[in-house]
């Protein structure tokens, strides 16, 4: 791995094409906040010209790891190899801050502990006023000041969906990888996945014991923790006989389908091949299986970076939405919403600028609901609308499909 | 000249300059950390040289104040747009101060009724094109870096691009400039009128001056009506000369295509193996032709173009009418750059330009020069202008880099011998300054140097570029 990135940086021809797509550079115009700049910094690290400093860490953390740059790079640089090495370098040379370290190393790998911690928080949050359209200001434990973030669910998705609903002659048997945001906050997304697939005669198992995919720790360079999580998740999913694994989180899909190939090695390939984004799965296996009665609401779709730019998936969620709603396209649907982990904490001002643009695009489209395929984007965009008292709803595309299948697609709440 | 010297006096000079700069333009616009300096040390040539300070000016007065300080202390100074140049124009070879002009990126005004727009130098060319398209207007110069290079950089290098045959190059669209001279004084050249012949044409002197005379702070460009429609044709040939003859015949028929791009066998092979496109093995040359205008004019011109290709033994032609079909055809052209790296890891991309009647001759010369060599040369480019990109691809084996350089040297001599030019659109920078004397006679060179020393007596503007000494 360490030799890899050192060779990879030499491939960069310094043409500057990454300028055209980097959401951070488009806001700042800072050469230090675009792949070409960071690759030069990696080169300087390799050549022992510089060492890790606070400034360098901020430049490394300014990367959203959306991988747009890799898609357009004329020289074929695998930027992910480089940024991962730099994140690891930051962690190894400057350490991971104490609180995240405790969470990554000791809490994330232990489901019961994680559950307990969050349960305590969910109790505490009930005493905090200022609830607003299901969002609340400042959730303890998740270190995000000033943000509208949703309340924790009383019962996690894993617990709620512990029992597999048995079908008589299921066409397929798939496993659901929930991911943390869906497990603890957007439980209804998980329920929608199970409900929709069940309606298509597919049995859904929610393997107990599954853990965080490892993105939070790897995005702070703590690959040791990520590896541990990957090993444990592998054990859990390999112990079930599954035809496929679906997720409703773009980032989890990227991590367990793509990153695990690096973390766990090529032996993960057969499992990786079976992992699908939920819309991708439905289009591939259920495209002709259902007839939805489209909901009346005007729905638009936001492309999560990790689905569009890492996996090239854009048609599938749109096709599902076109069948299940009054679909309209927004301009700049592929532009980043600004959400995503450590970036939103270190570069909060940039996060807000990107969010403002996204909210404006959605409003221009005239849609009253924005759907996407990532709970992280749901959280971010909902934050943008909550802040301005808008009536636009933010949801996951699978929930639109669920609505279109339930009640023949007539959603009474939306008819007024 | 390096500011970060070992001696105490130089060290304190650096501190003094830094203090004065911070006082003059504000702390947040002056970067001196090693991490920032590294990010402004390179351009599209992959050359590297560390600047001592990076200044991100907010407007003309910041540029002027910085230049006054640089001039006082005789510190080298380099104007940098997006750092995408291909001849080293923005590389701070001698240390000193780099201006990051990306920070000056406002479109100041668009006057649709006057057909002009005024912008700051850091505006990305495509952003300007998109903005004026809203008024149904068009700024034609279209270098392949248009989506990421800046208008300031385009003017400094006099960038060309694929629309040159019909619409000309950057120079043909610049009406007026606001320029800060090395002593910090501000001059305005040209007028915001579509024509002006008052006095010497200082504007043109500064276009293509590669940052060696002054720094642009405002640029007024000429606009034209946006063509209503574009249609694309791809024509496949089994012989290179046939493609060149076809291009000639198209122009002989009094048709100026919006673009007339050529790819040779080596380029096509690289693209084929890179993208897996369905270009057949028997295709040894191809032309990519865009015709623009009205529905009517295109329906008249496209058959003429297609016939010209067929008359010259094009064994297949393909017309694309929808945006999607056009995109599919153009994808091959766009993938050339990455595809070439599959041939070999290193590339010298020359941008020679010859009279159109000499294209066949120069390509034959290039073949001869490389006859018994182990190096691959891929030729493609703007054949209507005679501007051919000769790409010399070489690997890491010992002696290969030297061999590539010697081929470049020979090619340049042949180009000048057929009355061509060593640079059609990339500029000279430091990469090609050694060839200046091939094309420019001592007397003209002396005149150029007198201009240089008139505007920049202390030699602080982009030292090491354009001239060998």
Task: Say yes or no: B188 and B218 in one domain.
Answer: yes
Whether A221 is covered by a domain: the verdict is: no
Residue with the bigger pLDDT between A125 and A207: it is A207
Question: Tokens for B282?
Answer: 């028997």
What is the share, in percent, of chain B residues with pLDDT greater than 70? 97
The predicted pLDDT at position B311 comes to 96
pLDDT level of residue B323 (50, 70, 90 thresholds): confident
Out of A8-17, B164-173, B390-399, the most confident range is B164-173
User: Is the distance from CB of B215 to CB of B323 less than 8 angstroms?
Assistant: no
Task: Say yes or no: B118 and B27 in one domain.
Answer: no
Q: How far apart are CA B354 and CA B367, in angstroms?
A: 16
The predicted pLDDT at position B468 comes to 87
Query: What are the pLDDT digits (tens) for A249-273?
Result: 999 999 999 999 999 999 999 999 9
pTM for the whole structure: 0.89
Query: What are the pLDDT digits (tens) for B179-218?
Result: 999 999 999 999 999 999 999 999 999 999 999 999 999 9
Whether B288 is covered by a domain: the verdict is: yes
Whether A243 is covered by a domain: the verdict is: no
Full residue range of the structural domain in which residue A312 is found: 298-414
CA A385 vs CA A137, A363, B278: distances in Å: 14, 10, 47
B35: nearest CB among A17, A59, A75:
A59
How close A22 comes to chain B (CA, Å)? 11
- The number of C-alpha atoms within 13 Å of A243 and in the hemisphere containing its C-beta is 10
> Which residues 6+ apart lie within 8 Å of B389 measured at CB?
B349, B350, B351, B379, B380, B381
- Tell me the β-bridge partners of A275: A245
The predicted pLDDT at position B337 comes to 80
The predicted pLDDT at position A108 comes to 67
Q: Answer yes or no: do B145 and A15 touch at CB < 8 A.
A: yes
Helix (H, G, I), strand (E, B) or coil at A150: strand
Q: Answer yes or no: do A74 and B82 touch at CB < 8 A.
A: no
Task: Say yes or no: B36 and B145 in one domain.
Answer: no
Q: Answer yes or no: do B338 and A75 touch at CB < 8 A.
A: yes
Residues of B in contact with A55 (CB under 8 A): 33, 35-36
The predicted pLDDT at position A137 comes to 38
Domain boundary among B73, B103, B133: B103
Residues of B in contact with A40 (CB under 8 A): 38-39, 41-42, 48
In SS3 terms, chain B reads as: CCCCCCCHHHHHHHHHHHHHHHHHHCHHHEECCHHHHHHCCECCCCCECCCCEEECCCCHHHHHHHHHHHHHHCCCEEEECCCCCCCCCCCCCCCCEEEEHHHCCCEEEEECCCCEEEECCCCEHHHHHHHHHCCCEECCCCCCCCCCCEHHHHHHHCCCCCCHHHHCCHHHHEEEEEEECCCCCEEEEECCCCCCCCCCCHHHHHCCCCCCCCEEEEEEEECEECCCEEEEEEEEECCHHHHHHHHHHHHHCCCCCCEEEEEEHHHHHHHHHHHCCCCCCCCCEEEEEEEEECHHHHHHHHHHHHHHHHHCCCCEEEEECCHHHHHHHHHHHHCHHHHHCCCCCEEEEEEEECCHHHHHHHHHHHHHHCCCCCCEEEEEEEHHHCEEEEEEEECCCCCHHHHHHHHHHHHHHHHHHCCCECCCCCCCCCCCHHHHHHHCCHHHHHHHHHHHHHHCCCCCECCCCCCCC
We report the CATH number of the domain holding residue A88 as 1.10.1060.10
Residue A332, chain B, CB below 8 Å: the answer is: no
Out of A96-100, A217-221, B310-314, the most confident range is B310-314
Residues of B in contact with A53 (CB under 8 A): 35
The predicted pLDDT at position B1 comes to 45
Whether A312 is covered by a domain: the verdict is: yes
Q: Answer yes or no: do B337 and A41 touch at CB < 8 A.
A: no
Whether B366 is covered by a domain: the verdict is: no
For residue B278, count CB atoms less than 10 angstroms from its CB and return exposed for 0-12, middle for 13-18, buried for 19 or more. exposed
Residues of B in contact with A19 (CB under 8 A): 82, 124, 148
The closest of B368, B349, B448 to B410, measured between CA atoms, is B368
Strand order in the sheet with B77-80: B30-31, B53-55, B97-100, B77-80
Task: Say yes or no: B251 and B307 in one domain.
Answer: yes
Q: Indicate whether B417 pLDDT > 80.
A: yes
Q: Indicate whether A416 pLDDT > 70.
A: no
We report the CATH number of the domain holding residue B273 as 3.30.70.2190
pLDDT level of residue B277 (50, 70, 90 thresholds): confident
Task: Say yes or no: B92 and B113 in one domain.
Answer: no
CA angle A56, A61, A62 (to 5 degrees): 95
Whether B298 is covered by a domain: the verdict is: yes
Q: Indicate whether B315 pLDDT > 80.
A: yes
Task: Say yes or no: B55 and B117 in one domain.
Answer: no
Domain boundary among A94, A126, A147: A94
Task: Say yes or no: B147 and B254 in one domain.
Answer: no
Residue with the bigger pLDDT between B85 and A140: it is B85
Q: Answer yes or no: do A31 and B100 touch at CB < 8 A.
A: yes
Instruction: List A residues 16-55 in contact with B (Cβ-Cβ < 8 A).
Output: 16-17, 19-20, 29-32, 37, 40-41, 44, 49-50, 53, 55
The predicted pLDDT at position A132 comes to 45
Domain boundary among B160, B193, B225: B225
Residues of B in contact with A37 (CB under 8 A): 38-39
Query: What are the pLDDT digits (tens) for B118-139?
Result: 999 999 999 999 999 999 999 9
Residue A14, chain B, CB below 8 Å: the answer is: yes
Whether A81 is covered by a domain: the verdict is: yes
Task: Say yes or no: B117 and B191 in one domain.
Answer: yes
Residues of A in contact with B58 (CB under 8 A): none
Helix (H, G, I), strand (E, B) or coil at A259: helix
Residues of A in contact with B271 (CB under 8 A): none
Residue B400 C-alpha from the chain's centroid:
26
Q: How far apart are CA B137 and CA B129, in angstroms?
A: 8
Task: Say yes or no: B154 and B259 in one domain.
Answer: no
For an interface test with A, the pick among B33, B37, B41, B42 (most A C-beta atoms closer than 10 Å) comes out as: B42
Place of tokens 């090491």: B464
Question: Tokens for B146?
Answer: 């248009």
Whether A136 is covered by a domain: the verdict is: no
Q: Answer yes or no: do A20 and B147 touch at CB < 8 A.
A: yes
What average pLDDT does chain B have? 94
What is the tally of structural domains in chain A?
2
Whether A65 is covered by a domain: the verdict is: yes
Residue B278, chain A, CB below 8 Å: the answer is: no
CB pairs under 8 A between A and B: 73
Identify the DSSP state of A393. E
What is the tally of structural domains in chain B?
3
The predicted pLDDT at position B326 comes to 87
Q: Answer yes or no: do B44 and A74 touch at CB < 8 A.
A: no
Mean predicted confidence (pLDDT) in A323-329: 95
Domain boundary among A94, A111, A127: A94
Query: What are the pLDDT digits (tens) for A370-406?
Result: 999 999 999 999 988 887 778 899 999 999 999 999 8
Mean predicted confidence (pLDDT) in A280-295: 90
The predicted pLDDT at position B296 comes to 96
Least confident of A35-44, A114-123, B270-279: A114-123
How many Cβ atoms from other residues are within 10 Å of residue B244's Cβ?
A: 21
Mean predicted confidence (pLDDT) in B274-288: 86
Q: Answer yes or no: do B149 and A53 touch at CB < 8 A.
A: no
Whether A351 is covered by a domain: the verdict is: yes
Task: Say yes or no: B87 and B128 in one domain.
Answer: no
Whether B346 is covered by a domain: the verdict is: no
We report the CATH number of the domain holding residue B172 as 3.30.465.10
Mean predicted confidence (pLDDT) in B347-369: 95
Whether A35 is covered by a domain: the verdict is: yes
A29: nearest CB among B44, B45, B103:
B103
Strand order in the sheet with B316-320: B316-320, B229-237, B285-293, B259-264, B376-382, B387-394, B346-353
Residue B150, chain A, CB below 8 Å: the answer is: no
Domain boundary among B225, B250, B275: B225
Full residue range of the structural domain in which residue B252 is found: 229-337
For an interface test with B, the pick among A42, A73, A74, A86 (most B C-beta atoms closer than 10 Å) comes out as: A74
Query: What are the pLDDT digits (tens) for A327-339?
Result: 999 999 999 999 8
β A244-247/A172-177 pair status: parallel
The predicted pLDDT at position A102 comes to 67
Residue with the bigger pLDDT between A394 and B280: it is A394
Q: Answer yes or no: do A16 and B102 touch at CB < 8 A.
A: no
Query: What are the pLDDT digits (tens) for A124-144?
Result: 655 544 444 444 433 333 444
Whether B456 is covered by a domain: the verdict is: no
Q: Answer yes or no: do A16 and B83 touch at CB < 8 A.
A: yes
Domain boundary among A42, A70, A94: A94
We report the CATH number of the domain holding residue A307 as 3.40.50
Instruction: List A residues 302-321 in contact with B (Cβ-Cβ < 8 A).
Output: none
The predicted pLDDT at position A136 comes to 41
Mean predicted confidence (pLDDT) in B237-242: 96
């Amino acid at each position: 791995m360490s030799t890899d990135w050192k060779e990879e940086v030499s491939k960069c021809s310094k043409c500057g094409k990454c300028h055209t797509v980097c959401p951070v550079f488009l806001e700042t115009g800072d050469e230090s906040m675009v792949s070409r700049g960071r690759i030069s910094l990696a080169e300087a690290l390799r050549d022992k010209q510089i060492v890790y400093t606070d400034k360098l860490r901020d430049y490394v953390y300014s990367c959203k790891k959306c991988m747009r740059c890799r898609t357009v790079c004329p020289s074929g640089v695998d930027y992910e190899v480089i940024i991962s090495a730099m994140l690891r370098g930051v962690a190894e040379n400057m350490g991971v801050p104490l609180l995240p370290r405790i969470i990554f190393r000791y809490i994330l790998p232990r489901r019961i502990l994680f559950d307990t911690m969050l349960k305590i928080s969910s109790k505490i949050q009930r005493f905090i006023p200022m609830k607003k359209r299901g969002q609340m200001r400042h959730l303890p434990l998740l270190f995000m000041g000033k943000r509208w973030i949703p309340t924790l669910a009383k019962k996690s998705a894993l617990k709620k969906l512990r029992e597999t609903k048995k079908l008589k002659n299921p066409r397929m048997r798939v496993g659901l990888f929930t991911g943390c945001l869906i497990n603890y906050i957007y439980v209804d997304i998980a329920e929608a996945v199970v409900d929709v697939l069940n309606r298509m005669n597919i049995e859904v198992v929610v393997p107990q014991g599954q853990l965080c995919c490892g993105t939070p720790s790897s995005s702070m360079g703590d690959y040791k923790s990520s590896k541990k999580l990957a090993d444990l998740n592998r054990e859990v999913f390999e112990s079930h006989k599954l035809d496929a694994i679906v997720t409703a989180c773009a980032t989890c899909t990227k991590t367990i389908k793509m990153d695990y190939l690096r973390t766990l090695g090529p032996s993960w390939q057969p499992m990786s091949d079976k992992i699908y984004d939920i819309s991708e799965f439905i289009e591939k296996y259920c495209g002709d299986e259902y007839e939805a009665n489209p909901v009346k609401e005007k729905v638009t779709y936001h492309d999560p970076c990790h689905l569009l730019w890492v996996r090239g998936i854009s048609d599938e969620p749109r096709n599902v939405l076109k069948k299940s709603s009054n679909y309209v396209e927004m301009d700049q649907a592929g532009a980043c919403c600004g959400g995503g982990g450590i970036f939103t904490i270190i570069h909060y001002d940039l996060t807000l600028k990107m969010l403002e643009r996204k909210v404006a695009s959605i409003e221009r489209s005239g849609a009253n609901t924005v759907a996407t395929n990532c709970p992280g984007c749901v959280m971010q965009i909902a934050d943008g609308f909550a802040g301005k008292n808008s009536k636009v709803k933010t949801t996951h595309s699978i929930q639109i499909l669920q609505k279109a299948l339930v009640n023949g697609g007539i959603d009474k709440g939306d008819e007024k | 000249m390096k500011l970060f010297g070992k001696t105490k006096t130089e060290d304190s000079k650096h501190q003094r300059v830094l203090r004065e700069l911070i006082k003059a333009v504000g702390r947040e616009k002056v970067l001196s950390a090693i991490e920032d300096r590294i990010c402004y040390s390179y351009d599209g040539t992959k050359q590297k040289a560390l600047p001592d300070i990076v200044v991100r000016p907010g407007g003309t007065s910041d540029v002027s104040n910085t230049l006054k300080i640089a001039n006082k202390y005789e510190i080298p100074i380099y104007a940098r747009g997006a750092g995408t140049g291909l001849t080293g124009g923005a590389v701070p070879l001698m240390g000193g101060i780099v201006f990051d002009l990306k920070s000056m990126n406002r479109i100041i005004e668009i006057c649709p009724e006057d057909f002009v727009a005024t912008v700051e130098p850091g505006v990305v060319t495509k952003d300007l094109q998109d903005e004026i398209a809203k008024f149904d207007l068009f700024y034609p110069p279209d270098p392949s870096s248009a989506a990421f290079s800046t208008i300031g950089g385009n003017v400094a290098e006099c960038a060309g691009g694929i629309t040159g045959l019909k619409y000309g190059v950057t120079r043909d669209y610049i009406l007026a400039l606001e320029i800060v001279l090395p002593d910090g004084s501000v001059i305005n050249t040209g007028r915001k009128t579509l024509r002006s012949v008052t006095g010497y044409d200082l504007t043109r002197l500064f276009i293509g001056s590669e940052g060696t005379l002054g720094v642009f702070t405002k640029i007024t460009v000429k606009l034209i009506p946006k063509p209503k429609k574009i249609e694309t044709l791809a024509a496949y040939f089994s012989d290179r000369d046939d493609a060149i003859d076809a291009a000639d015949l198209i122009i002989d028929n009094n048709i100026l295509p919006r673009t007339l791009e050529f790819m040779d066998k080596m380029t096509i092979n690289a693209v084929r193996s890179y993208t897996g496109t369905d270009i057949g093995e028997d295709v040894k040359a191809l032309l990519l032709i865009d015709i623009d205008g009205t529905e009517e004019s295109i329906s008249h011109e496209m058959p003429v173009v297609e016939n010209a290709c067929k008359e010259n033994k094009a064994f297949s032609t393909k017309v694309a009418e929808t945006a999607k079909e056009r995109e599919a055809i153009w994808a091959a052209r766009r993938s050339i750059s990455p595809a070439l790296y599959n041939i070999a890891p290193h590339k010298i991309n020359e941008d020679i330009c010859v009279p159109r009647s000499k294209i066949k001759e120069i390509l034959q010369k290039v073949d001869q020069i490389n006859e018994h060599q182990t190096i691959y040369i891929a030729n493609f480019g703007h054949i209507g202008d005679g501007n051919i990109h000769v790409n010399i691809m070489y690997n890491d084996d010992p002696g290969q880099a030297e061999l590539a350089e010697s081929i470049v040297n020979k090619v340049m001599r042949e180009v000048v011998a057929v009355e061509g030019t060593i640079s059609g659109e990339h500029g000279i920078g430091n990469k090609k300054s050694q060839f200046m004397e091939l094309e420019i006679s001592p007397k003209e060179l002396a005149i150029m140097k007198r201009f240089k020393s008139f505007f920049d007596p202390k030699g602080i503007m982009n030292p090491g570029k354009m001239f060998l000494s």
